Amino acid sequence: MAVAHALADAFVIEGSVPLNGTIRAAGNKNGALPILAACLLTQEPVTLSNMPRIRDVDTMLELLTDLGADACWVGQHEVRVDASGASKSAPDPDLCSKIRASFLLAGPLLARFGRATMPPPGGDVIGRRRLDPHIHALAELGAEIDATGPTFEMSADGLRGAHVFLDEASVMATENAVMAAVMSPGETVLGNAACEPHVQDLCRFLVSLGAHIEGIESNVLRIEGVERLHGGDWPIVTDHIEVGSFIGMAAMTGGDVTIEGVRRKDMLPIVPVFEKLGVRVELGEDTVHVPPRQQLIVQDDLGGMIPKIDDGPWPAFPSDLTSIAVTVATQAFGTVLMFEKMFENRLVFTDKLVSMGARIILCDPHRAVVTGPTHLVGQRMESPDIRAGMAMLLAALAAQGQSTIGAAHQIDKGYERIDERLRALGAQIERVT
């Protein structure tokens, strides 16, 4: 019954209230999930700190426990995993259907047991999300894979190092390949690898356990297989997507907000995009300050041309922040073309912003033209996924009047206690059932 109530939760927001104060960014969701999966590679205990207390992390812990590992919270943001007792190679289908990251168990299970039965993963419906790069990479490392049935049946009579070139720079495929390769004899060279901050964090975590990985931060990873990994302690890297979301909130409400716990280098591809939308940001070594009462003016390209904001694999602007950038653009003087290259459903949520008063032309599934500023008015809406839900929350905070955002669990999947943390900044937001 508790789960049913949680799924029925909604956020009620009274808008037009500037946010003021200091907020600390949480650990990276997309870094925490593969690192939890990687704990299956060692039979010694691992303690992970700065773990975001979110729904997706709880689901991954349930998956590990179902496989036989001892995985539990030992502090507010600390998790301990002892996978020495893991014995199953077939993750629970119902749990897998809840999160996309369940498929990250494939690499570790193959490396540990030589077999894996993987149900189709769940996750946000933001467009086609191919599993082909995962299957190709694992097959190149020696796995035999039957993908004709309702599950992916994988087996390997010993994985081995190989030269693997991914046909797209898929974050999760890179992570699966790395986890499968770190204990496979010989050298693995992984080309066109993703190099997002959370991929780097996974690689550095594995190195701390004894893995040999070179090329971290680049798109070519060289992995020399080792016989075993030991246990250890590791802090999850800060979520740069959450930092970008808070920058957008502060700018849209005219607030004065300082974000702590920031990794400066992770913000370098993000800050210029906000600056293009007229947002002035003061970037410190481990903080970001958004000054108050900013007038947002879109920076035209040379010759007065309409500027374009597009996303791409790191170090391009992250796709997960495209929804935030679109929403901020509704409050900036000028016109901007938003080009979402990676997911064909990412921009579908813009109809919610239009119902609030935004001037947005959705040209096709990948492009939207936004003209601002517009006066937003509170509406009743439903969150379709994590990032669209957060973008709608931004719009509600800036809008006149009351907004209700249903399916709050979608936002909870990626943002820890967001209503409590925003109330500490002065936001008028309540969670209701």
For the stretch 172-216, pLDDT in tens is 999 999 999 999 999 999 999 999 999 999 999 999 999 999 999
Q: SS3 breakdown of the chain: % helix, strand, coil, rounded to 5? A: 35, 25, 40
d(CA 139, CA 17): 53
Cβ proximity of 22 and 250 under 8 Å:
no
Catalytic residue among 124, 201, 256, 419: 124
Q: Is the pLDDT of residue 128 over 60?
A: no
d(CA 421, CA 424): 5
Burial zone of 143 (CB within 10 Å; 0-12 exposed, 13-18 middle, 19+ buried): buried
Q: Is the pLDDT of residue 317 over 50?
A: yes
The model carries a pTM of 0.94
Render pLDDT for 371-425 as a digit per residue (tens, 0 to 9).
999 999 999 999 988 999 999 999 999 999 999 999 999 999 889 999 999 999 9
Region 303-312: mean pLDDT is: 95
d(CA 113, CA 89): 7
Render pLDDT for 266-277 as a digit per residue (tens, 0 to 9).
999 999 999 999
Q: Is the pLDDT of residue 86 over 60?
A: yes
Q: Considering just the CA atoms, what is the radius of gyration of the chain in Å? A: 22
Query: What architecture (CATH level 2) is domain 29-235?
Result: Alpha-beta prism (3.65)
Residue type, 297: I
**Residue-level pLDDT at 126:** 47
> What does the domain layout of the chain look like in residue ranges?
2-26+238-432, 29-235
Would you call the peptide bond into 315 cis, given omega within 30 degrees of 0 as the criterion?
yes
Query: For 2-26+238-432, which CATH superfamily applies?
Result: Enolpyruvate transferase domain (3.65.10.10)
Average pLDDT of the chain? 94
Q: Is 201 a catalytic residue?
A: no
